[in-house]
């Protein structure tokens, strides 16, 4: 295995991104692209196999789709847990990954990935350069960006947010949630006992969320305003007030320290389509070792495709371990693909 070193250290708080500039250089054995469940487990397992790791994700926090879309929902198909809250699963996977002391590159989108005779080189949107023996793409459904709120974007980071990974961050606040899907209503119900007030604003009278969830919202203390939209936002510094209006021009002024815009996401493969990888059904084709058509590039999780593929978090964990074991022998052919048992260490 090549002798490698790293720039930076493990992020104590993975919600803070590793800063990047044109001069930043990270050198590791393995670059993992995607900090969702599969990527986090791959980071842990790579450390178990003795590899140094960097893990990059365009989002500002670990967890991928879980943290972004359903952090408060219960997940029922994780081995060993009859049920586990989405964010709790992410927190435990992050804690497990941290045992491998990975370099976290959050808020870093990998824009260029090149296969070389010695491994891979990559560049992120911040200008950070990464050299690694191999890359493992665990990008889920690819890049997904939130649909922007038409009004009030100037308050992003000062009251406007698109994710609520930690509910207690909004304790005792006046919160307005915009949207009519499952995420919007789930966050509204989860914040009801924590926030001072919760108002749900939706531009239609019908909701896309599950009917049982809609009924729960209507029988709660959550104020529901339909069909209304955000008309104006104001505040000297942080957000303090929101004006909503309906199609008749009727306006309501509401106190608000936070707007949660849950308007859905736009998903696409982004730069992956330019990386000369063989694709099928907008997924990356892999062989039984999880290797792509590029020698030093592997894929696992929802982004990977092969005959008989089943997209489950549990499957992604297995694919991550399979990929890392074969990456280990790719980097050092004298090592065994068989890892032994963790209890042997």
Q: What residues form the annotated binding site? A: 38, 57, 65, 70, 110, 144, 302, 343
The whole-angstrom separation of Cα 269 and Cα 142 is 5
Annotated binding site for FAD: 38, 57, 65, 70, 110, 144, 302, 343
Question: How many CB atoms lie under 10 A from the CB of residue 279?
Answer: 16
Going by C-alpha positions, the residue among 272, 267, 314 that lies closest to residue 297 is: 272
What is the separation of C-alpha 250 from the centre of its chain, rounded to a whole number of angstroms? 38
Which residues pair with residue 255 across a beta bridge? Answer: 241
Count of alpha carbons within 13 Å of 102, Cβ hemisphere only? Answer: 34
The 3-class secondary structure across 267-320, one letter per residue, is EECHHHHHCCCCEECCEEECCCCCECCCCCEEECHHHEECCCCCCCHHHHHHHH
């Amino acid at each position: 295995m090549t002798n490698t070193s790293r720039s930076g250290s493990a992020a104590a708080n993975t919600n803070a991104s590793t800063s990047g500039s044109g001069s930043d250089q990270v050198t590791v054995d393995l670059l993992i692209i995607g900090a969702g469940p599969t990527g986090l487990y791959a980071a842990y397992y790579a450390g178990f196999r003795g590899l140094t790791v960097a893990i990059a994700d365009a989002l500002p926090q670990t967890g991928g789709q879980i943290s972004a879309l359903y952090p408060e929902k219960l997940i029922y198909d994780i081995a060993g847990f009859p049920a586990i809250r989405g964010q709790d699963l992410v927190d435990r996977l992050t804690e497990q990954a941290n045992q491998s002391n990975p370099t976290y590159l959050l808020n870093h989108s990998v824009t260029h990935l090149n296969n070389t005779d010695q491994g891979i080189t990559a560049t992120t949107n911040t200008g950070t350069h990464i050299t690694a023996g191999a890359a493992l793409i665990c990008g889920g459904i690819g890049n997904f960006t939130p649909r922007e709120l038409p009004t009030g974007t100037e308050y992003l980071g000062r009251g406007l947010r698109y994710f609520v990974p930690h509910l207690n961050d909004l304790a005792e606040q006046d919160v307005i949630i915009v949207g009519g899907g499952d995420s919007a209503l789930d966050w509204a119900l989860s914040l009801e006992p924590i926030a001072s007030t919760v108002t749900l604003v939706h531009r239609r009278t019908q909701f896309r969320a599950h009917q049982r969830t809609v009924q729960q919202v209507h029988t709660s203390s959550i104020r529901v305003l339909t069909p209304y939209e955000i008309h104006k936002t104001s505040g000297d510094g942080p957000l303090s007030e929101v004006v909503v209006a309906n199609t008749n021009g009727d306006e309501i002024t509401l106190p608000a320290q936070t707007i949660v815009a849950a308007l859905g996401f736009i998903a696409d493969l982004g730069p992956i389509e330019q990386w000369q990888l063989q694709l099928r059904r907008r997924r990356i084709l892999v062989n039984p070792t999880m290797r792509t058509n590029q020698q030093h590039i592997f894929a696992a999780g929802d982004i990977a495709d092969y005959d008989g593929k089943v997209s489950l978090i549990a499957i992604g964990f297995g694919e991550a371990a399979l990929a890392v074991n074969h990456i280990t022998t790719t980097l050092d052919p004298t090592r065994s693909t068989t890892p032994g048992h963790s209890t042997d260490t």
